[in-house]
Each structure stands twice: as structure tokens, then as C-alpha cells.
Amino acid sequence: MSVEIALMYLAVGLVAGILAGLLGVGGGLIIVPMLVFCFIKQGVTPEVIMHLALGTSLASIIFTSISSALSHHRRGAVDWRIVRRIVPGILIGTFLGTMIASRLTTGFLQAFFCVFLYAVATQMLLNKKPKASREMPGFIGLFGVGNGIGVASALVGIGGGSMSVPFMIWCNIAAHRAIGTSAAIGFPIAIAGAFGYVVNNLQATGLPEYSLGYVYLPALFFIVCFSVLTAPLGARLAHALPVDKLKRIFALFLYVVATRMAWGIVA
């Protein structure tokens, strides 16, 4: 791996850590497309590029989510009761999602990721918050919600914040508390997702050296080095900056990323 690629991984980790703490959307929205770009530069087999990006992204979120969740916890912004109740559904749904992804093509996964990015960016740009009209559901309801968030998160390699934050706001959870709780929920998503992308694909072919299933260990190392350091900074900024305005700017960036990836599919 060249110095240029290593520096790119470090830059991805720096940005992903800040976003994980600041916006509660998870660093995967940035990590996945950047990993795809890096893997193309490295000459990785096209058929496994997207799977490798998703698995490596989720593995990196294990570390980012710990750092981000602890920072939010110190500010009293994590509702651990919600975390405990949603985790069973999250674990099962995320692992199931990795099993589904292992049977899909890179082209399909890239197209699905692009559609997801457009949807997230549109929601951020319009800033339409769901009406706080109900209370958090019981165990069965949260189990089902956790399943859905887990499956979708595994298919796009994210910590689930773009889904769990709006859901919690809809259930009358304050925005800052929803972001903090989402950071904590990202940990079981990342654990189940990384585990699934490893154990379901240990015999996969065409992977670069130092891959463990669909987790590329060198990229994981460099990304984690910086994302763990910058996630607490993002959490501090979330309590000091106009997050809504920053999300609109980030949404425009996501449009560019999604369009670039979509062009790569059809070109």
C-alpha cells in the first residue's frame, strides 16, 4: 500500500470521526465511498470492492462509536434504556443484513448505497423533522425497529444514525439526546455488521492481502487511528455549533458523492 493511499485512509478517519460525533449520522456515509475510491486506486477486484468497503466501514465504526458514545454519555445525552431495549433487534437485523449483502453484486450494492445517500441528503437539506407525536414503543416494537435499522445499516455500511435519530425524534426524544443515543446504538450495529462480513465471507476470493473476510485490515488501522481521536471533538461541536445549518451543507456534499458514485456505475 502506497503512502498516498495510507494518507487517504488517515484523512477519511479524521473526517468520519468528527461527523460521527457532530451529526449523529455515522461516519459510514463518508467512509464507504472513500474506501471504494481507495480500493479502485489499489486495483482491488471490482466484484468485491463494495463488499470490502461495507465490511471495513462497519469494523471502523466499532471504535468510532465507542469514543463518540462515551463523549455524549459524559454530557448526559445517551438514553441507555432505549439502547438496551433496541439492541436485540439491532444485532439480529444487522447480521441478517450481512448475509443478504454477501449474496448481492457490487453493482446492486453501489446502486442501493447511492439511492440511500440521495434520500439522506434530501432529508437533511429539507430539514423536515418528524412530528413528535408518540412515545417510544415497547420491547416488541423496538425489536422490529431494530431489525429494520440493522438490515439497512448492514447494506450501506453505516452506524444507523440517519434512521435512528429521526425515529427517536418522532418518539418525542430531544434532538441532542437522540444523537447521543444513536451514537451508542452504532456500537452493536458495528459489532454485528463487522462480525457478519467476516464470518460469512472467510472463503471469499479476489480479496487484497491482509483481508479478514470483507474487512481490509490496513485500511481499518489507519482510519481508526484518527476517527477515535476526532469523534469526541465532533461530540463537543454538536453542543456548540448550529448543527441544522451544518447538516444542509453536508447534504449538498452527499449529493455530489452519490452522483459521483452513480456515474461510476453507468460509465
Lookup: cell for 248: 444542509
Domain of 156 in residue numbering reads as: 3-266
- Quote the CA–CA distance of 143 and 163 in Å, as a whole number: 15
Taking 90 as the threshold, does the pLDDT of residue 11 lie above it? no
Local confidence band at 10 (pLDDT 50, 70, 90 cut-offs): confident
Taking 80 as the threshold, does the pLDDT of residue 133 lie above it? no
The pLDDT value recorded for residue 84 is 92
Burial 118-133 (b: 16+ CB within 10 A, else e): bebbebbbeeeeeeee
The pLDDT value recorded for residue 82 is 92
Report residue 212: phi and psi, to 5°: -115, 100
Which among 230, 239, 186, 191 is positioned nearest to 74, based on CA atoms? Answer: 239
pTM: 0.86
DSSP string, 157-225: TS-SHHHHHHHHHHTT--HHHHHHHHHHHHHHHHHHHHHHHHHTTTT-SSPPTTEETTEEHHHHHHHHH
* pLDDT (tens digit per residue) in 39-93: 988 889 989 999 999 999 999 888 878 877 887 888 888 899 999 999 999 999 9
Provide the Cα torsion 128, 131, 137, 143; round to 10°. -10
Taking 70 as the threshold, does the pLDDT of residue 1 lie above it? no
Give the mean pLDDT of 132-142. 79
The pLDDT value recorded for residue 197 is 95
Domain count of the fold of the chain: 1
Taking 60 as the threshold, does the pLDDT of residue 26 lie above it? no
- Quote the CA–CA distance of 72 and 182 in Å, as a whole number: 10
Local confidence band at 213 (pLDDT 50, 70, 90 cut-offs): very high
First-to-last CA distance in the chain?
A: 27
Long-range residue pairs from 217-221, CB within 8 A, at least 24 positions apart, any chain: 218/1, 218/6, 218/9, 219/9, 219/35, 219/38, 219/56, 219/60, 220/56, 220/59, 220/60
The pLDDT value recorded for residue 191 is 95
Lookup: cell for 262: 452513480
The helix or strand, by DSSP H or E, that contains position 156, with its residue range, turns out to be helix 139-156
